[in-house]
Structure 1
Amino acid sequence: MTNLGDLEVFARVVASGSMSMAGRALGFSPAVISKRIKRLEDRLGTRLLQRTTRQVSLTEAGQGFYERVLAILSGIEEAEAFASGRATQVQGTLKISAPTSFGRMHIAPHLKPFMDAHPDLAIHLNLSDEFTDIIAGSFDLAIRIAELTDSSLVARRLAPVRRVLCASPSYITAHGMPQDVEDLRNHSCLPAHNHEAWRLEGPAGTLAFRPEGMLVTNSSEVIREAVIAGQGIALRSTWDIGPELKSGVLVQILPAYEGSRNVTLSAVYPSRQFLPAKVRLFIDYLADLYGPVPYWER
């Protein structure tokens, strides 16, 4: 049977990307770390890591093995918590990845009650508009606003996402109100930085429109500020612009068309088995907080 300590060493090497960094974290020399990894590979009869002078990376076998090792280690943590009666008294660190704007607006303001309820739990919140590899980044979970297609991850839907076409009243006054989707070609649009087509659902079903505009940015928050400033038409989520729609700072255009309903707000994590209590509790907290009709829609 494989030594459990070897699994912990392997997971630490993958998470840090370096045998020397893993050694410093565990109090071992790089030579000892290398020996433990080689012993594990010899026992399994396969190479788990590709080694260079500067870093290590997972082989195909190593990737699948790593995902399962994480589940094992999480299961041990969960079992210890259960046996010691700490199943709801979590501790350690919860590492979360989330989109920049959503994290700032709808996660950060709600962290205090959760952390007050679990004072021994530290939270590391990483905000990025790029999809983060939660395995490579050693994240416990990620919040995603997307159509989820990665079958290697487990997803739990937290709330629906409604996206609408909108513009400022000043833009409409200057350029007129679009009458149909084709009319958008005569307007300045504010596309996302990846230039993907807007998938819209309307009376005739689903259609794709590729927006064109003079402003290009890798920041969703810049697009938000640009549409408020009157620079064009954008497809935005109501969680992002709900107050502006209610106050009249922005107006919805072409209300018969909205973004694809397949886009949802979800929590994704590596394994359904042996879900650590800290992950389960945080996901439950967000699901209760948002709900089937989230507060930004009420």
Structure 2
Amino acid sequence: MGEDWELFAAIVYTGSLSAAGRQAGLSPAMVSKRLARLEARLGARLVHRTTRRLVTTEAGRVFHDEAIAILAAANAAEARVAGGVDEPAGRLRVSAPTSFGRRHVAPHLAAFLVRHPAVALELDLTDDFVDLIGGRIDCAVRIGVAAGALVSTMLAPNRRLLCAAPAYLTAHGVPETLAELSRHHLLAADNQVPWRLDGPEGAVVLPVTSLVRTNSSEVARELALAGAGIALRSTWDVGDALAEGRLVRLLPDWEGACDVAIHAVRPKAPFVAPAVEAFVAHLAALWAPPPWDDRLGEVNEPETAGSATVHGRTVKNSRCNQGDGS
């Protein structure tokens, strides 16, 4: 019964039988069979299926809300029995974004495990927003607006700055205003556009057409480092490159909107497993204040209108080629 409930939660979360099947390691035919079995047992249709979309029925919405609450309570009960009331112990499944997880989570796992040797940690790095209930994930590190359906703990702010490599600025010039960005090569992953910026004129939404279409934020960063264009990057991702002069900050009065922070999220449950509490506290202690912002005082920024400091010299603004970045 529990497995069918988890599968149904994944179907609702992903909005697709095939996507839920991929998450559970099942074929679409098997997912459909198990959904039909669940509907037969309940005596109610839970979803309407068409060739293009899947819509939850009223009965499906009610059952989904009740099911995920019960599943969350069951997961918490298992963790409590396995790990004891006070000492962190038992299985702890954590999800984190791929690049951030490699750079800022993985290096600190050993210290956590030394402190809590009874915890069996599983770390899944993915850029997908996985279904915590359906995937039996205890805790996820996410970058973005906190999810209302989950319990969220803010771990650190996430500053995002406009930047480019010295070679790009030498070739294409330094933009003096946001409007001039439209004449430049811009770099962003598909899920990171448009750019939402805060600055002297308030909040601005900037349409962006990336020079290269990619679903990977890491590709956008590597292109910026290679001198392909201008990017809006998080300081956790490019703080070292900025401090070392491999990237130069642009338009310093403007930053990415401040509503995109780094959170730890977990399913709602009456009991929080000690291992989850300990892991979230471990990360919060590491990132308060964020260590990747320590060197930002050393960052090169444009000194005068139309110029930027690049490797100790001043790069003057030159007119971009017509069509650059358009």
TM score, norm. by length of structure 2: 0.72
* Partner residue of 2:187 out of 187, 190, 198: 190
**Distance in structure 2 (CA, Å) of the matches to 1:140 and 1:212:** 37
2:69: which partner in 1?
68
Give the direction of change, closer, same or farther, for the CA distance of 1:237–1:246 in structure 2 (3 Å limit). Answer: same
1:246: which partner in 2?
243
**Distance in structure 1 (CA, Å) of the matches to 2:150 and 2:244:** 39
Alignment of 1:147-186 (within 5 A): 147-148=145-146, 150-186=147-183
**Distance in structure 1 (CA, Å) of the matches to 2:9 and 2:204:** 42
**Distance in structure 1 (CA, Å) of the matches to 2:73 and 2:271:** 8
Query: Is the partner of 2:262 in helix, strand or coil?
Result: strand
Give the direction of change, closer, same or farther, for the CA distance of 1:76–1:213 in structure 2 (3 Å limit). Answer: closer
1:55: which partner in 2?
none
* Partner residue of 2:291 out of 286, 291, 295: 295
Give the direction of change, closer, same or farther, for the CA distance of 1:214–1:236 in structure 2 (3 Å limit). Answer: same
Alignment of 1:37-186 (within 5 A): 38=41, 41=42, 47=44, 59-77=60-78, 79-80=80-81, 86-91=85-90, 93-148=91-146, 150-186=147-183
Deviation at 1:47, TM superposition (A): 4.8
Amino acid corresponding to residue 97 of structure 2 in structure 1: P
1:230: which partner in 2?
227
**Distance in structure 2 (CA, Å) of the matches to 1:103 and 1:266:** 13
Amino acid corresponding to residue 140 of structure 1 in structure 2: D
Give the direction of change, closer, same or farther, for the CA distance of 1:88–1:294 in structure 2 (3 Å limit). Answer: same
Q: Please say if residues 73 and 269 of structure 2, whose CA atoms lie closer than 8 Å, have aligned partners that are also in contact.
A: no
**Distance in structure 1 (CA, Å) of the matches to 2:224 and 2:65:** 44
Deviation at 1:166, TM superposition (A): 0.3
**Distance in structure 2 (CA, Å) of the matches to 1:195 and 1:108:** 24
After the TM superposition, which of the residue ranges 252-261 and 136-145 deviates more from structure 2? 136-145
Deviation at 1:15, TM superposition (A): 8.1
Query: Is the partner of 2:258 in helix, strand or coil?
Result: coil
**Distance in structure 2 (CA, Å) of the matches to 1:196 and 1:213:** 9
Deviation at 1:77, TM superposition (A): 3.6
Give the direction of change, closer, same or farther, for the CA distance of 1:69–1:47 in structure 2 (3 Å limit). Answer: farther
Deviation at 1:13, TM superposition (A): 6.2
RMSD: 3.0
**Distance in structure 2 (CA, Å) of the matches to 1:136 and 1:78:** 16
- Which portions of structure 1, spanning 4 or more consecutive aligned residues, are displaced by more than 6 angstroms? 15-18
After the TM superposition, which of the residue ranges 157-166 and 193-202 deviates more from structure 2? 193-202
Q: Please say if residues 6 and 134 of structure 2, whose CA atoms lie closer than 8 Å, have aligned partners that are also in contact.
A: no
Q: Please say if residues 161 and 238 of structure 1, whose CA atoms lie closer than 8 Å, have aligned partners that are also in contact.
A: yes
Q: Please say if residues 8 and 64 of structure 2, whose CA atoms lie closer than 8 Å, have aligned partners that are also in contact.
A: no
Query: Is the partner of 2:156 in helix, strand or coil?
Result: strand
2:301: which partner in 1?
none
Deviation at 1:90, TM superposition (A): 0.9
Equivalenced residue count is: 264
Give the direction of change, closer, same or farther, for the CA distance of 1:47–1:97 in structure 2 (3 Å limit). Answer: farther
**Distance in structure 2 (CA, Å) of the matches to 1:219 and 1:78:** 34
Query: Is the partner of 1:194 in helix, strand or coil?
Result: helix
2:317: which partner in 1?
none
- Percent identity, please: 40
Unaligned runs of 5+ in 2: 11-19, 25-36, 48-55, 295-326
After the TM superposition, which of the residue ranges 213-222 and 97-106 deviates more from structure 2? 213-222
Deviation at 1:103, TM superposition (A): 0.4
Amino acid corresponding to residue 147 of structure 1 in structure 2: V
Query: Is the partner of 2:187 in helix, strand or coil?
Result: coil
Amino acid corresponding to residue 248 of structure 2 in structure 1: V
Give the direction of change, closer, same or farther, for the CA distance of 1:252–1:176 in structure 2 (3 Å limit). Answer: same
Deviation at 1:87, TM superposition (A): 1.8
